[in-house]
Amino acid sequence: MAPISTPQTPFGRVLTAMVTPFTADGALDLDGAQRLAAHLVDAGNDGLIVNGTTGESPTTSDAEKDQLVRAVLEAVGDRAHVVAGIGTNDTRHSVDLARTAERTGAHGLLAVTPYYNKPPQEGLLRHFTAIADSTGLPVMLYDIPGRSGVPIDTETLVRLADHPRIVANKDAKGDLGRASWAIAQSGLAWYSGDDMLNLPLLSVGAVGFVSVVGHVVTPDLRALVEAHLGGDVQKATEIHQKLLPVFTGMFRTQGVITTKAALTLQGLPAGPLRLPLVELTAQETAQLKIDLAAGGVQL
């Protein structure tokens, strides 16, 4: 059975930006990726982002990216949205990755704002339009100026929303005021890309989350969004507050680092990191255990 989507929730409501498991020698662990993907979908994810930043996309090759999408589709593609991260700061490269992802069978694309070269808004408009024009797949934009150096302005989001295949935005801008206006004016399906702001963004019109902490607390995230949709604001707030130590702990340092450490503590596939990312120290691991336990995560 194909994963369920609607125009309002084109990729479902709860998605995890999945890490890329590696073997002890640093090679791609496709078996581990399939086992982790199945675990995450079993836990309640509607979809998985593969080859995003949390998947260490800056240090995986194009061939590895394609292999990973194939493996995850084989494992869970009949019951979850498999969205391929294809964003780079080179429009031609992103288009090539998008076409490969479509040929492989991905259900959608995640396109991050081009980083480092700091294009103007017209450049962003043309970049994202070229990606959306290149395939028949739905596109989720990814607005994260803290990493890319450039925000997608509200006016640009509104213009991009006119494209029939640009259907959603992952918001990691950290600005609820700008998000409120952009949601109202663009009509894009809005996904929180900042776990600490999951509940606040729901309150101004977001439909769901693209989460990092979903690796360890997907059932809580699903309960949070369902409580909010059901009008039980108190329960949603209680879940949000319960998860505060997890939100804090998982981002005391770079999120991929803590996520792989947390998965390893739970006996799930993760493996080492590729440089320039490095493992947690013993002291940092001890603090992570405290943070996760405070949020109710079983290790």
pLDDT band at 124 (very low <50, low <70, confident <90, very high): very high
Q: For residues 131 and 133, give the distance between their C-alpha atoms in angstroms, rounded to a whole number.
A: 5
With a cut of 60, say whether residue 1 has pLDDT above it. Answer: no
Lowest mean pLDDT among 4-18, 78-92, 156-170: 4-18
What are the tens digits of pLDDT across the range 157-206? Answer: 999 999 999 999 999 999 999 999 999 999 999 999 999 999 999 999 99
Residue 131 · residue 88 · CB < 8 Å: no
pLDDT band at 299 (very low <50, low <70, confident <90, very high): confident
With a cut of 60, say whether residue 88 has pLDDT above it. Answer: yes
Length of the chain: 299
What are the tens digits of pLDDT across the range 198-237? Answer: 999 999 999 999 999 999 999 999 999 999 999 999 999 9
Establish whether 115 is a catalytic residue.
Answer: no
What's the whole-number mean pLDDT along residues 82-89? 97
pLDDT band at 80 (very low <50, low <70, confident <90, very high): very high
For the purposes of burial, counting CB atoms within 10 Å of the CB of 282, is it exposed (0-12), middle (13-18) or buried (19 or more)?
exposed
- On average, the pLDDT of the chain sits at 97
With a cut of 80, say whether residue 6 has pLDDT above it. Answer: no
With a cut of 90, say whether residue 25 has pLDDT above it. Answer: yes
Domain ranges (residues) in the chain: 12-235
With a cut of 90, say whether residue 4 has pLDDT above it. Answer: no
With a cut of 90, say whether residue 2 has pLDDT above it. Answer: no
* Residue bearing tokens 């005391």: 252
Q: Which residues are annotated as part of the binding site?
A: 54, 210
Task: Please report, rounded to a whole number, the percentage of residues in the chain having pLDDT higher than 90.
Answer: 97
Q: Which two tokens stand for residue 172?
A: 């990691």
Q: For residues 199 and 241, give the distance between their C-alpha atoms in angstroms, rounded to a whole number.
A: 10
Establish whether 170 is a catalytic residue.
Answer: yes
Minimal CA–CA distance to 15: which of 102, 103, 110?
110
- What's the start-to-end Cα distance of the chain, in Å? 33
Topology (CATH) of 12-235: TIM Barrel (3.20.20)
The torsion of the CA quartet 97, 102, 106, 111, rounded to 10 degrees, works out to 40
To the nearest 10 degrees (0 to 180), the angle between helices 30-43 and 214-229 is: 30
What is the reported pLDDT for 7? 66
What is the reported pLDDT for 3? 76
Q: Which residues are annotated as part of the binding site for pyruvate?
A: 54, 210
Catalytic residue chosen out of the listed positions 65, 142, 191, 260: 142
What is the reported pLDDT for 128? 98
What are the tens digits of pLDDT across the range 64-76? Answer: 999 999 999 999 9
Catalytic residue chosen out of the listed positions 170, 173, 191, 260: 170
